[in-house]
Each structure stands twice: as C-alpha cells, then as structure tokens.
Amino acid sequence: MATVNSVLSIRKLKAMQLQSLFCGLLVACAVQPEVEGTTVQVYLDTANAPTRSLTGILHGGNNASPPTDLITPLGISQWRNRDVLMYPRINELGAVDMFILLSGWGGGTANGYPYDNPTGWVSAVSSVATSTVGQNFFWDGWNEPDWPGRWAGTEQQLADTYALSYKTIKTIKPNDKIGGPSISKYDLTRITNFLNYALQNGVQVNFVSWHELNNDSNIPSIKKHVDEIRKNFIDNPVYAALNIQGVSINEYVGQGSQYSPGDILGYLYYLELSRVEYASKSCWPGFAGPSNCNNFTLGGLITPNTFLPRSSWWAFKLYADGWKTRVLSTSTDQFVNGLANTTSTGAQVLVAVYGKADVTKVCKLKLNKISFLPGFSSDSLVKIDVKKLPNSLEAPLDVPVSVQSYEVRAANDSLTLTLPTLSLHEAYIVTISKGN
C-alpha cells in the first residue's frame, strides 16, 4: 500500500517531468529549479574586450582560395604563412602577415642550416625582405627549433641566426617587427636563454612567441605561461632594450582538438584572459588524406574542395561576432567557460565544455545586470534561444543546431538559466533578447 509520503513523492516527480516536458516544447519556464553544479556568471555591465580578435590562421589558403566570404566572417587578425605573395589578400582582411623565415630555405635539407652557410642565409633573408618593401610584415625567426629535425644546432646558434636575420631585415625595413623563438611548447628556460642571447647580441625581440598545442585538459595553463612572460620579461626593466611589444601564440589548438568547438572556444577564452596580443590557430593532418595546412581549408575549418563550414568554423565565426563587445564572465569550473558579449538587441553567450569538465553536473548560466542591455529593465521578460555546436568533427555543419527557445522574467536585475546537458568538446550559443 502506498504511503502518504510516497504518493507525494510520485506527484512531485510527475510535476518535475511535466515542467521538463514543457521546457523542451519551447513553452515559457518562468521558474527554474536551483540545482548544485557548475555556474557560469556573466556581468553585463562590465566591458572586457581584448585589444583585437584572437582568430588567426596558419597556412590554409592562398591568394585565390578559399572564397573570401568564408574568411571575412572569422575576423582574422593574424595569418602566419610561407608565401609573401599572400600579402595583398591578408592586408585587405585587416590582418597581420607573419612570414616564417625558414620558408623557401629548406631548413636543414637542401641548403643546410643557416649556421652552416651564414652568407647564404643573409642573402636569402635580404632577398625576401627586399621583395616586400612597402608592405608591413611580422617576421618569425624560425619555426619550432626544439622539434626533432627542425634545428640541429645549439641554442646559441639559433640566437646568432636570429641576430643575423634581425640586422638584415631592419637594415631594409626598419619598421617591421621580428620575434621568436616560436618553440613547439612553452619552455621558460629556452625562452629565457633566447632573450638573454638577444640582449648580448644587441638585437630586439619585438614579440615573444611559442606554441600552445596542449591536450585540452591543459588549456587553462595558457594564462600562467603568459603571466610568467609578462612578469619576467615584458614588465622587467632589465629587458627593456629588447622592445618586446607583446606575446604571439602563433600556433594554438592541438591535433586532437582541431575540429572541436568546445576546445577551440576554451583556447580563445584563455587567450583573451591572458591578454595575448596576437595568435594563430594551428593546422594538422586530417583523419585521411592531405594535411589541413595545404588543402585551402583554413586549417580544417571548412571541407576540402566543397568549402562547406564545419562546427569549428562556426566557433570562430561566433567568437568573431562578439569580441568587440565582450563583457566579463567567470566560472566555477575552469573547463566550462562563457565568452559573453552584448549585442544591439541583447546579448550572446558561448558556453564551452572540454578537458576535465564534469559533464554529469548541471550547468547554470547567471546573467547579472540585465538592465544594462538596451531596452531592458531589471524585471524584463526575456527571450532565451539556445543552439548547439556539436563535436561533429570533419562533417559539415550548415547551421548551429536549435535546442530550445522560451521566455522567462528577470528578477532583481538578474536571471539564472539551467542549460541542457552538454557533452565534452561541444558548445552552446545562448542568445538573449527582449521577450514579447
């Protein structure tokens, strides 16, 4: 026989199921249960925009391909490449053209290493610099000299090669920027040695560069790395003569994360949090077939030949939509981040899940200071639209996937939403606008 308590429990369960059903059917859910879990907080009254977009590309195209209408929406601020003839296109996009100096040299194969043939190296650098007179370049001194097979010499020989490159370029193009060491992973000792050698050689390092190709569980370490470089070198008067003007993470996103929107937005969140000046997404081999560096897919963001956007393309596009009006956000889980921005009609929040995020927890999104949005009051009726960027890997994605839409009233100038469960490597797009 059922007890009174068990009957009440059954009724309560049915009521919760009905509320969940109504929410799923896109009906207004004015009251949402408070459940312990991860909370992303957005402060709509606190501007937090970076200096520039941190979308960047490594290789991935040429002067004609892929189509410009797939590039422009990404808001690219840096294109790192090996073809100086791409400058007109990159410049038209408003991006920095970063040229990798070893390109065309042969890097330890056809021509030997620069320390084996310094005269030949100076001639090659002089030739490419002269061909770009009248154009503004960033010059990358080498690429991943710590990676096996890419540099056989010592750190001192690398620094001496950099000094030769610096003096050659600055003689021809004194206003261009040159930097390094562009190592394959963060290594404070190697960076320290490189910068100390530069001091001894009397040359500048206009940007400090390395690559962040972490497993997605290590993405949050980016901020610690950048903070260390700022403290030890950029803000340290001992290194003032180097004229370091910022940090360039000139490759980010590891191979396992290259198609995953949650991971990509996690990288972008921590790059912004670190106040990095420039950055470029890396490129990797696809699951089968040619490298995404060489097939005109912007490093795998679009499909080869057919040029259809993937979920990863949408992640960068939606990021580009919002960076200029970024507002502050925090999270109780370092692997669940919110990139939030205001819009002309409300706000957008990109909620990313990756790494060691506990996806069994409920994720809440709290919007603070609703009244700072145009036309909103502290108790406005608010329309919520939720779409998903699935981790669909190499498959094309025509548009983000609709998940739910409903209206809810703000209270005390804030609003707390309980988001549907996300899987690792995915992301939600939460759009906030005035309700009817």
β-sheet bridge partners, residue 421: none
Same domain, 338 and 222: no
Non-local CB neighbours of 20 within 8 Å, separated by 6+ positions: none
What's the gap between Cα 160 and its chain centre? Answer: 32
Same domain, 68 and 180: yes
The total number of structural domains that make up the chain: 2
**Is the confidence at residue 408, as pLDDT, over 50?**
yes
Structural domain contains residue 15: no
Structural domain contains residue 7: no
Residues 380/427, Cβ–Cβ less than 8 Å: no
Sign of the alpha-carbon dihedral angle for 295, 296, 299, 305: negative
The mean pLDDT of 363-380, rounded to a whole number, is 97
Non-local CB neighbours of 143 within 8 Å, separated by 6+ positions: 100, 102, 107, 150, 182
Q: Among candidates 415, 420, 423, 422, which has minimal Cα distance to 405?
A: 420
pLDDT for res 373: 98
Same domain, 415 and 305: no
Structural domain contains residue 1: no
The tokens for 207 are 């940007």
**Is the confidence at residue 253, as pLDDT, over 70?**
yes
Phi-psi region of 94 (alpha: psi -120 to 50; beta: other; left: phi over 0): left
Same domain, 164 and 144: yes
**Is the confidence at residue 36, as pLDDT, over 70?**
no
Same domain, 303 and 343: no
The mean pLDDT of 368-392, rounded to a whole number, is 98
Q: Which residue has the tokens 């990288």?
A: 267
**Is the confidence at residue 118, as pLDDT, over 70?**
yes
Residue type, 82: R
**Is the confidence at residue 13, as pLDDT, over 70?**
no
Q: Which residue has the higher pLDDT, 49 or 13?
A: 49
Q: What is the pTM of this model?
A: 0.91
Same domain, 119 and 259: yes
Structural domain contains residue 9: no
pLDDT tens-place string over residues 155-194: 999 999 999 999 999 999 999 999 999 999 999 999 999 9
Q: How many CB atoms lie within 10 A of CB 99?
A: 22
Q: Confidence class of residue 111 from pLDDT cuts 50, 70 and 90?
A: confident
Q: Confidence class of residue 28 from pLDDT cuts 50, 70 and 90?
A: very low
Q: Confidence class of residue 102 from pLDDT cuts 50, 70 and 90?
A: confident
Same domain, 292 and 350: no
**Is the confidence at residue 4, as pLDDT, over 50?**
no
Strand, helix or coil for residue 268: helix
Non-local CB neighbours of 368 within 8 Å, separated by 6+ positions: 41, 42, 43, 44, 45, 413, 414
Q: What are phi and psi of 123, to 5 degrees?
A: -65, -40
What's the gap between Cα 200 and its chain centre? Answer: 34
Structural domain contains residue 14: no
What's the gap between Cα 72 and its chain centre? Answer: 16
pLDDT for res 361: 85
pLDDT for res 110: 67
Q: Among candidates 93, 60, 64, which has minimal Cα distance to 302?
A: 60
Write down which residue in 324, 355, 383 finishes a domain: 324
Structural domain contains residue 424: yes
**Is the confidence at residue 18, as pLDDT, over 80?**
no
pLDDT for res 104: 64
Same domain, 185 and 330: no
Q: What are phi and psi of 286, to 5 degrees?
A: -75, 180
pLDDT for res 75: 97
Pairing of strands 326-331, 336-342: antiparallel
Write down which residue in 301, 324, 347 finishes a domain: 324
Same domain, 230 and 138: yes
Same domain, 34 and 112: no
pLDDT tens-place string over residues 53-93: 999 999 999 999 999 999 999 999 999 999 999 999 999 99
* Helices 118-130 & 155-172 angle (0-180, nearest 10): 40
Q: What are phi and psi of 400, to 5 degrees?
A: -55, 155
Write down which residue in 260, 292, 324 finishes a domain: 324
Structural domain contains residue 334: yes
pLDDT for res 14: 42
- CATH number of the domain residue 273 falls in: 3.20.20.80
pLDDT for res 108: 54
Same domain, 144 and 253: yes
Strand, helix or coil for residue 416: strand
pLDDT for res 273: 98
Same domain, 313 and 430: no
Provide the residue range defining the domain that includes 69. 56-324
pLDDT for res 17: 41
- CATH number of the domain residue 348 falls in: 2.60.40.1180
